[in-house]
């Protein structure tokens, strides 16, 4: 029975092959060559496009003053837990992983994110220059509760980042992340944005007053004659809220996945 079927199939295949052969022979050779030419050049074009399309970065730099909650956020993104009590702030935490909230989806198909948590400690800031040039996005974490006592320091740090050549030239998007919103005393993100803009405005005035030899910042910020606002930056600056402690990191994850496509 089975052999009979196989034989039938074989004959059918042979017939199909013969018909195809006849068909191809009937096509004028010029047309055939043209068709082959089109196929080959299309393949070629695809290869060239692939070659020139630079491998997009998957690095997200988490930074901000010490105590703002970067390390807790890092663990929350990686493990879905804050690892409270085991957290130290002297070493950069670094890892390449699929976000914890994504692990329930088809894991193999999701592109991992390389996340670097660069401590805000001034001694470690050179670390930032190492990671910024390859960043797909920067997350600047701000403590929304203890915000006012730190506004000056935070603005200085943010100013330095926003005037770095690597950030300006590559237009690396920055997310101002107001963290610890689980506390009722947390300031709103609009308040934080406005205060930071005001502080940066003051910094800008004092820094441009310095003699040009003293200016270490590579680019100037904002529009001359206008009060500073984040929308004047060459790179996109967005504001969002989070709580690393309670695992409320959806806006942060949205930012990450906008710039590191899954
Ligand atoms: N209430 C609250 N506390 C937080 C939150 N995230 C971090 N903290 C606390 O803030 C402190 C500093 O956190 P850490 O992640 O070490 O900050 P880092 O120095 O920026 O890495 C720790 O005591 C955390 O428990 C948060 O979302 N809400
Ligand atoms: Mg830390």
Is the same domain home to 47 and 153? no
Q: Domain residues for 42? A: 2-52
> How would you label 183-202 residue by residue, b for 16+ Cβ within 10 Å and e otherwise?
eeebbebeebbebbbebbbe
CA distance 182 to 192: 16
Minimum mean pLDDT range among 18-22, 93-97, 106-110, 180-184: 106-110
Name the 3-class secondary structure at 51.
helix
- The CA-CA-CA angle for residues 130, 133, 138, to 5°, reads 95
The label of the residue with tokens 């910024």 reads 132
**Does any ligand 1 atom lie closer than 6 A to the CB of residue 68?**
yes
Q: Which residue has the higher pLDDT, 84 or 24?
A: 24
What pLDDT is recorded for position 53?
66
Look up the pTM and report it.
0.78
69, 82, 86, 127: residue to mutate for ligand 1 pocket, most atoms within 8 A of CB: 69
Is the same domain home to 29 and 116? no
Is the same domain home to 118 and 48? no
Q: What is the mean pLDDT of residues 74-86?
A: 81
Name the 3-class secondary structure at 1.
coil
**Does any ligand 1 atom lie closer than 6 A to the CB of residue 62?**
no
Is the same domain home to 73 and 20? no
Is the same domain home to 64 and 192? yes
149: tokens are 């006592």
Beta bridge partners of 240: 177
Confidence of residue 257 (pLDDT cuts 50, 70, 90): very high
Minimum mean pLDDT range among 22-31, 135-144, 167-176, 201-210: 201-210
Is the same domain home to 18 and 111? no
Beta bridge partners of 248: 243
Q: Is the pLDDT of residue 143 over 80?
A: yes
């Amino acid at each position: 029975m089975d052999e009979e079927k196989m034989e039938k199939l074989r004959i059918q295949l042979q017939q199909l092959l013969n018909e195809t052969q006849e068909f191809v022979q009937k096509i004028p050779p010029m047309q055939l060559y043209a068709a082959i030419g089109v196929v080959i050049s299309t393949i070629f074009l695809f290869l060239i496009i692939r070659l020139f399309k630079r491998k997009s970065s998957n690095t997200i730099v988490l930074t901000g003053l010490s105590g703002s909650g970067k390390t807790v956020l890092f663990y929350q993104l990686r493990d879905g837990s804050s690892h409270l009590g085991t957290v130290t702030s002297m070493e950069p935490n670094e890892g390449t992983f699929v976000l914890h909230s994504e692990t329930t989806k088809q894991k193999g198909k999701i592109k991992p994110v390389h996340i670097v948590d660069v401590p805000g400690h001034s001694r470690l800031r050179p670390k930032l220059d190492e990671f910024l040039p390859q960043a797909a996005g920067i997350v600047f974490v701000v403590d929304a509760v203890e915000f006012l006592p730190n506004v000056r320091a935070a603005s200085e740090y943010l100013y330095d980042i926003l005037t770095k050549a690597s950030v300006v030239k590559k237009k690396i998007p920055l997310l101002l992340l107001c963290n610890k919103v689980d506390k009722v005393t947390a300031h709103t993100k609009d308040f934080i944005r406005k205060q930071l803009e005001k502080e940066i405005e003051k910094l800008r005035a004092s820094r441009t007053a310095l003699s040009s030899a003293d200016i270490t910042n590579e680019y100037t910020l904002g529009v001359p004659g206008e009060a500073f606002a984040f929308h004047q930056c060459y790179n996109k600056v967005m504001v969002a809220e989070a709580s690393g402690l309670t695992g409320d990191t959806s806006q942060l994850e949205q930012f990450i996945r906008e710039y590191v496509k899954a």
